């Protein structure tokens, strides 16, 4: 067991006030000195935690102070006057979101003193999968934690750090962005010992000037790596000269490792094979990995986990064994068989999110899926959002990609079902190359849409479902299951 250092001193009401300022609406007593952590959700709050009242788009935490108190909160953090009829300390600050970040930044120093390594993951695609792979590799030997689900924003990142223990050897933090400046702000809080850039593409480009602006945003994380740390860059995502221009400034205080398929990468994939729901790849130094996940792009994600595992001192045999038994993440190319023989359909559920690069990866994965070449391959694709002025162009490009995949032998796809207001832009180039009967476009979600779509399916199909998060296309899966049960 590592020394707990100042953890107990950190989690007291008086110390938290020193960090965030503010004034007491109800003063703490010695009875409240044993705080156990932070929560922003009264439904999942654990006894002894501090409840931080956050005003969001749909809910305001200030409306749930009583529920938090009843659930066992030992302190309330608010940013507007509230009733002080509570029996626990109430601290009012200017901004509870800012205070949450301040608390996480202060706790990051406690983790540093404890020797807990902080590993940050950013990129346009693959953040969650890469984070999950790194955690799986490290957890085979060490004690540690990772971001819950996709906790990668101004709330999730602080909560991830604050949820780590000083007994942990590591914490893997996922960092995302929707607007310029967000990653640098989070980087100042996280101050990683290691940071990984999975790739750069036009995700959220509607909020950025161009692809170079996205690259600058992602690379801003590396300004905050601790001296002596390591930065891992996916060397295939931009020209090496472009990366070197951005990273030369970091090399004086941290080690830079390039990973990917191209020859200039230090950690390189030299061979990759895809099977039905798994891939096998070999690195330039002879390490062979069997990964129970589909998609060649996941070999590159796993390469980052290999590099981090080695950096943390794990032998290659441990790394390979851990990746060989990794469990897939829900709604990320998650293969599931629904129904009962002979009335079964294989669904590849990739409905969590979508941008042009990840859409291409999913479609190529479906096209290269071996072992079920006798099955029809159906693509159910929804809108890709937050593309700004590039939205029409990228959906037209999507239509051309689908058309090209359909010409493979055996066909990579035989039916395209397009859903959303932007669907017509994908269907236009596709209709010039595919028979009309193989293209089905629905510009709006309606109550009978799941029934219409199940009418286009047949037992034995392999169905890819992918779209941006706001489309919520996973809603189709229960309808498909019920349709098969009724057969």
Can you give the pLDDT at residue 2? 45
Average pLDDT taken over every residue of the chain: 90
Can you give the pLDDT at residue 4? 46
Overall size of the chain counted in residues: 487
- Identify the sign of the CA torsion 301, 306, 312, 318: positive
Q: How many CB atoms neighbour CB 285 within 10 A? A: 11
* 328 DSSP 8-state letter: P
Structure tokens at 44: 């999942």
Choose from 149-153, 158-162, 413-417 the range with maximum mean pLDDT. Answer: 158-162
What lies within 8 Å, CB to CB, of 404 at 6+ separation is none
Which CATH number among 3.30.470.20, 3.40.1190.10, 3.10.20.30, 3.90.1150.10 corresponds to the domain 116-324?
A: 3.40.1190.10
User: Which strands, in side-by-side order, build the sheet including 288-291?
Assistant: 144-146, 170-174, 117-122, 194-197, 229-234, 254-260, 267-274, 279-283, 288-291
Read off the pLDDT of residues 221-275 as tens digits, 9 standing for 90 and up.
999 999 999 999 998 886 656 566 656 777 778 898 999 999 989 999 999 998 8
CA–CA separation, 50 vs 45, rounded Å?
9
For residue 252, cis peptide bond before it (omega within 30 degrees of 0)? no
Beta strand ranges found along 351-452 (DSSP E): 377-382, 415-419, 439-442
What lies within 8 Å, CB to CB, of 446 at 6+ separation is none
Read off the pLDDT of residues 440-468 as tens digits, 9 standing for 90 and up.
999 999 999 999 999 999 999 999 999 99
Rg, the chain, Cα only: 24
Give yes or no for residue 3 having a pLDDT over 60: no
Supply the CATH classification number for the domain 334-485: 3.90.190.20
Domain 7-94 and domain 334-485 have a common topology: no
DSSP 261-316: SSTT-SEEEEEEEE-SS-EEEEETTS-EEEESS--THHHHHHHHHHHHHHHTT--H
In sequence order, the β-bridge partners of residue 282 are 271, 288
Distance of CA 122 to CAs 68, 131, 293, 331, Å?
Answer: 33, 9, 21, 19
Give yes or no for residue 209 having a pLDDT over 80: no
Mean pLDDT of 81-104: 91
Can you give the pLDDT at residue 240? 59
Supply the CATH classification number for the domain 7-94: 3.40.1390.10
Looking at per-residue pLDDT, the higher value among 305 and 361 belongs to: 305
What residue segments make up the domains of the chain, in order of their start? Answer: 7-94, 116-324, 334-485
């Amino acid at each position: 067991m590592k020394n707990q250092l100042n953890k107990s001193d950190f989690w007291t009401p008086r110390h938290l006030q020193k960090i965030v300022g503010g004034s007491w609406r109800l003063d703490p007593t010695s009875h409240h000195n044993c705080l156990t952590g932070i929560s922003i959700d009264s439904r999942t709050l654990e006894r002894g935690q501090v409840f931080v009242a956050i005003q969001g788009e749909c809910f305001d935490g200030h409306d749930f102070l009583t529920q938090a108190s009843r659930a066992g909160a030992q302190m309330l953090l608010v940013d507007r006057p509230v009733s002080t009829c509570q029996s626990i300390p109430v601290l009012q600050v200017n901004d509870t979101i800012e205070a949450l970040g301040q608390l996480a930044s202060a706790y990051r120093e406690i983790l540093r003193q404890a020797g807990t390594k902080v590993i940050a993951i950013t990129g346009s695609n693959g953040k969650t999968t890469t984070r999950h792979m790194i955690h799986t590799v490290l957890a085979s030997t060490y004690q540690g934690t990772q971001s819950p689900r996709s906790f990668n924003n101004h709330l999730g990142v602080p909560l991830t750090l604050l949820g780590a223990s000083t007994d942990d050897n590591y914490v893997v933090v996922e960092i995302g962005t929707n607007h310029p400046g967000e990653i640098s702000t989070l980087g100042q809080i996280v101050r990683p010992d290691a940071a990984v850039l999975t790739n750069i593409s036009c995700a959220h480009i509607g909020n950025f000037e161009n692809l170079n602006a996205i690259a600058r945003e992602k690379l801003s994380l590396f300004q905050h790596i601790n001296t002596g740390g390591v930065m891992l860059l996916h060397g295939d995502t931009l020209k090496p000269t472009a990366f070197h221009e951005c990273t030369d400034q970091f090399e004086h205080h941290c080690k830079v490792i390039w990973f990917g398929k191209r020859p200039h990468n230090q950690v390189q994939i030299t061979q990759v094979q895809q099977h039905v729901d798994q891939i096998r790849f070999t690195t330039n130094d002879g390490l062979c990995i069997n990964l129970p996940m589909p998609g060649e792009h996941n070999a590159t994600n796993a390469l980052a986990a290999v590099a981090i595992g080695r950096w943390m001192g794990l032998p290659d045999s441990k790394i390979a064994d851990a990746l060989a038994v990794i469990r897939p993440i829900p709604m990320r190319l998650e293969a599931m068989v629904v129904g009962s023989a002979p009335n079964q359909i294989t669904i590849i559920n990739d409905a969590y999110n979508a941008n042009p690069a990840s859409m291409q990866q999913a479609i190529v994965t479906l096209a290269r899926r071996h072992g079920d070449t006798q099955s029809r391959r159906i693509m159910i694709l929804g809108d890709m959002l937050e593309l700004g002025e590039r939205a029409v162009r990228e959906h037209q490009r999507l239509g051309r990609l689908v058309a090209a995949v359909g010409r493979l032998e055996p066909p990579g796809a035989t039916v395209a079902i397009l859903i959303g207001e932007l669907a017509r832009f994908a269907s236009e180039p596709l209709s010039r190359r595919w028979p009309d009967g193989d293209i089905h476009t629905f510009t709006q979600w309606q109550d009978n849409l799941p029934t219409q779509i199940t009418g286009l399916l047949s037992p034995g199909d392999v169905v890819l479902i992918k779209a941006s998060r706001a489309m919520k296309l996973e809603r189709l899966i229960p309808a498909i299951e019920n349709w098969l049960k009724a057969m």
